[in-house]
Amino acid sequence: MTLNALNAAGFNDQTDSPAAMVARHQLPLRAVAIPGDGIGPEIMDSVQRILVAGGALIDWTECAAGATARGDAAGLPAETLDAVASAGLVLKGPLATGIGTGGKSANVTLRKHFELYANVRPARRLPGIVTPFADRDIDLVVVRENVEDLYAGIEHMQTPDVAQCLKLITRAGSAKIARAAFAVAKAEGRSKVTCASKANIMKLTEGMFKQAFEDVAAAHPGITADHMLIDNLAHRLVMMPEDFDVICTTNMNGDIISDLTAGLVGGLGLAPSANLGSHMAMFEAVHGSAPDIAGQGKANPTALLLAAIMMLRHAGKMGAAERIEHALYVTLEEGVDLTADMATPRRITAASTSAFADRIISNIGKRSAQCPAAPVAPLRLERCTPQTVAVSAPGKRSDAGMDIFVEYAGSPQELAACLRAATTNLPFTLAMISNRGLKVYPGAVPQADFADHWRCRFASRAPQDDLPQDQLCELMTRISTFARWCHVERLQIIDGTPGFSVAQGQ
C-alpha cells in the first residue's frame, strides 16, 4: 500500500512513519461482507468507511444473502457459502425473514451450516444514550447456545389443531457453549458466569444443560459460577442488572434475554452480536432490516459498527478496534450529528447515516474517559472436530414401555376403555393418558379443556433390552381401528434412571 493511499485512508504521517504503517497494515484481513436487506447496504457502507479511517485494512468479498439473493429459495447462494467458508470471517447486515410462513431463516441457516454454536451479545451502557437505566453501571455479556433447542426447527402438525416443536438439547452442545462462556469471561477479565435454565420444569432437556454447565465450571475454579432460573434472571436483570457479568443459556432463552439486555442499554439499534464456531466467525447487527426507512439515510449504524469492533478484536487487530471504539464513544459524548433514534429534544436536528459516520471518522485519534478497557486477549474458542458419534458411553439401557400419541375426538373415559381392550393378550398395560401434559387417566378426570391429541403411555409387563416389535406393531394396528396414531416414543431406562417425563398430576 502506498503512502498516499495510507494518508487517504486516514493515517497521519506526522505520528506514524510510512515504513511502520506499511509494515503494520500490509497484510489486510480477508472477510466477507453481506450488506443484507433494507437498511443493510447503508449501514454497511458507513461502517466500512469508518473501518478504513480507523486503520482496519480489510480485503472484502461482498456477497448476497436474504431477500437480496434473488432466485435462491434459501436466501443463501452457493457462491456466498463458498466465500464464507474460504474467508472464515463475516460482517453481516440484517437479513429479512418471513414470520409464520415461508422458508427457513437465512440467519439461522448460516449459523447452523457453519456450526456457529456460540452467540455472544454484549450489553454495555453507552454515553449520551437516554434510557431508564442510563445511570446504572451495566456491563454484561449473554452467551447463547446458537444451533440447538427449539431453534432446531423440527415441527409437525400432530392433528389439524395441535402443532408440536421438538426441543433438542445435546450434552456435547451444552458443554461447548459452557466452555465458550468461560472463554469469554477469561478473555474479557470477567469474574462470574451465571447459567440460566428452566431445569425445574424441563428436567431432562434444560436439566442436561445445567449439568453440563456445572461439569465445565468445575474446571474453572478461578471464576465464580452460579445458576439461576431463567424467569428469575429476567426479573433480576431489570431490578439489579449490575449483578451480572456473563450469562450462559440455551438458544431460545438467550434469544429473549439478549433482547431484554439490549433494551436496558438503548435498544437493538445499539446491539452487536458475534456468532462464533471453532473454524469460522460471523459478526452482525441484531436489529431487523427496517424496510420502512430503507434508502432514506435515517438508519443507525452503531450496532453494526460495534459488531465490526468485535470482529477486529477476534482477529487480533486490537489497536484498530480501540481507535474506532474511542471515536464512537467521543461522538456519543458530544451528542452532535447523531441519528434520529439517538437524538433528544435538547440536541440539534438528527443527522443522516453518512453524517454520523463522518462525525465518528473526524473523532478518530481522540480518547474517551468513558470507553471501557479493551479485552485482555482475543477471544478464542477451542477447535472441535465435528461430532458424529455419541460422546458418552451407551451405559445400560432397557425399554420400560412406550408413549403412543393419538388423535381421538371422544372423551378420555372412552379412549381409556378402547386402549385397555387393545392390550388384550399383549405384554403391555395402559399406565397413563395425558392431554396437553395433564394426566386424565387413571383417576378423576380434571376439569380442563382437552385437545384431540392424547399421550397414551403403555408399560411393558417386563422391562427388557428392546421392545417386542411384532407385538408393538400389533398394538398400533389395534389402536388404528378407533384412533389415528401420530408418533411413538420409547420409554428408556438409562443406567437405572428413567429417560422420560411424567405428566402433570401423575
pTM of the prediction?
A: 0.87
The reply to whether 215 belongs to the active site is no
Q: Are residues 417 and 491 in the same domain?
A: yes
Catalytic residue among 92, 112, 176, 198: 198
Tell me, yes or no, whether 139 lies in a domain: no
Using DSSP, state whether 399 is helix, strand or coil: strand
Phi, psi for residue 8 in degrees, rounded to 5: -65, -30
Catalytic residue among 37, 92, 149, 151: 151
The reply to whether 329 belongs to the active site is no
Q: Are residues 29 and 114 in the same domain?
A: yes
CA distance 490 to 506: 18
Catalytic residue among 149, 255, 399, 403: 255
Q: Are residues 53 and 170 in the same domain?
A: no
Long-range contacts of 8-13 (CB under 8 A, 24+ apart): 9/52, 9/53, 9/55, 9/57, 10/52, 10/53, 10/54, 10/55, 10/361, 10/364, 11/55, 12/365
List, for residues 312-345, the tens digit of each pLDDT value: 999 999 999 999 999 999 999 999 999 998 876 5
Q: What pairs with residue 454 in β-bridges?
A: 406, 435
Would you give the DSSP letter of residue 297?
T
Q: Are residues 336 and 405 in the same domain?
A: no
Q: Are residues 273 and 127 in the same domain?
A: yes
List, for residues 19-32, the tens digit of each pLDDT value: 444 444 457 899 99
Chosen domain end from 319, 351, 386: 386
Tell me, yes or no, whether 469 lies in a domain: yes
The reply to whether 203 belongs to the active site is no
Structurally, the chain folds into a number of domains equal to 3
Chosen domain end from 325, 357, 386: 386
The reply to whether 186 belongs to the active site is no
CA angle 324, 327, 356 (to 5 degrees): 100
Contact 253, 196 (CB under 8 A): yes
Q: Are residues 247 and 269 in the same domain?
A: no
Parent domain of 483: 397-498
Question: How much is the pLDDT for 12?
Answer: 41
Tell me, yes or no, whether 43 lies in a domain: yes
Tell me, yes or no, whether 115 lies in a domain: yes
CA distance 244 to 224: 11
Tell me, yes or no, whether 334 lies in a domain: yes
Catalytic residue among 59, 161, 215, 231: 231
How many CA atoms within 13 Å lie on the side-chain side of 237?
27
Query: Which CATH number covers residue 315?
Result: 3.40.718.10
Q: Are residues 238 and 300 in the same domain?
A: no
Least confident piece of the model among 88-92, 176-180, 372-376, 416-420: 372-376
List, for residues 259-292, the tens digit of each pLDDT value: 999 999 999 999 999 999 988 999 999 999 999 9
Tell me, yes or no, whether 142 lies in a domain: no
Q: Which position has the higher pLDDT, 381 or 256?
A: 256
Tell me, yes or no, whether 505 lies in a domain: no
Q: Are residues 67 and 182 in the same domain?
A: no
Q: Which position has the higher pLDDT, 99 or 351?
A: 351
